[in-house]
Structure 1
Amino acid sequence: MHEMSLAQSIVEIVESVSQQNNNRDVAKIKLIVGELAGVELQSLMQSLTIASHGTVMEGAEIELERPEGTAWCMKCAQTVPFHHLGDPCPICGGYQLRINGGNEFRVSELELKTED
């Protein structure tokens, strides 16, 4: 289950940012997980709950952005919607496609709790 290693990497990133900001707890993080990133969202969320236990990220709100997949069709010479690897172009039926969107995976925003 590679989602657990992804979750552990996210927690490491978040803890690093927290350390740079006087070890403040995290209120919210925003993740961008593209439709074609090869990540199972339910497993990732469960893994994040486990990996964040006892860290500055424990209990943080997690917001997900899920960009749709797109690909450049060489035959059509245009960007087309693309939802599953191995599928043909939805316009011409060709297979000369290059993914150009929806495969990203990153922490895009991090909100630290205010100091009381």
Structure 2
Amino acid sequence: MHELALAQSIIEVVEARAEECAVRQVRTVHLRVGEASGVLVEALQTAFTMLASLSPVLAEARLAIEVSPHRAWCEPCASSFAVEDFIARCPACGTWSTRILSGTELQILDMEVGADPQQGGQEQAKNG
């Protein structure tokens, strides 16, 4: 189950970023997961919830996952298309001269954090 290792890596990255930003509580971690990435979203959610409960910074955090479609670009046709069954052959012209546009990524987009009681409100920290 590589989702457990992925969840641990996500938590380590978020904890490091939270420390850099002097954040005490992360409420939500936003991810983008490609539908062709090989990641089982439900297993990742479960692993994250389990491991985050052990972290003082992430104990109440939830994982918000955006799934990106598997798409490719056809050079000869100059058009994009949905990749079906991992076959990146252009459905219009039949060429294999394609470039994958999306669907293989696993990205931490940002995190919503609990505000410092002195500041009030809610903040958002971008990864980068």
Q: Check the 8 A contact 1:68/1:83 in 2, yes or no.
A: no
Question: Counterpart in 1 of 2:49?
Answer: 49
Between the two structures, name the one with larger relative contact order (CA 8 Å, sep ≥ 6). Answer: 1
5+ residue gaps in structure 2? 118-128
Question: Counterpart in 2 of 1:37?
Answer: 37
| 1:26 maps to 2:61 | no
SS in 2 for 1:85: coil
Output the CA distance in 2 between the equivalents of 1:80 and 1:45. 29
Quote how far apart the aligned CAs of 1:66 are: 1.2
TM-score (norm 1): 0.84
Quote how far apart the aligned CAs of 1:4 are: 1.1
Q: Which moved more, 1:78-87 or 1:24-33?
A: 78-87
Q: Check the 8 A contact 1:36/1:84 in 2, yes or no.
A: no
Question: Counterpart in 2 of 1:58?
Answer: 59
Question: Counterpart in 1 of 2:121?
Answer: none
Across the aligned residues of Structure 1 and Structure 2, the Cα RMSD in angstroms comes to 1.9
Q: Which moved more, 1:77-86 or 1:106-115?
A: 77-86
Quote how far apart the aligned CAs of 1:20 are: 1.4
Output the CA distance in 1 between the equivalents of 2:70 and 2:87. 13
Question: Counterpart in 1 of 2:112?
Answer: 111
Q: Check the 8 A contact 2:74/2:98 in 1, yes or no.
A: yes
Aligned length: 116
Identity of aligned residues (%): 33
Output the CA distance in 1 between the equivalents of 2:79 and 2:73. 6
Quote how far apart the aligned CAs of 1:61 are: 2.6
The C-alpha deviation readout for 1:51-97, integer Å capped at 9, x for no partner, is: 21221112213211112111123454422111431364333444443
Output the CA distance in 2 between the equivalents of 1:59 and 1:93. 49
The C-alpha deviation readout for 1:11-42, integer Å capped at 9, x for no partner, is: 00110011113351101111011122221111
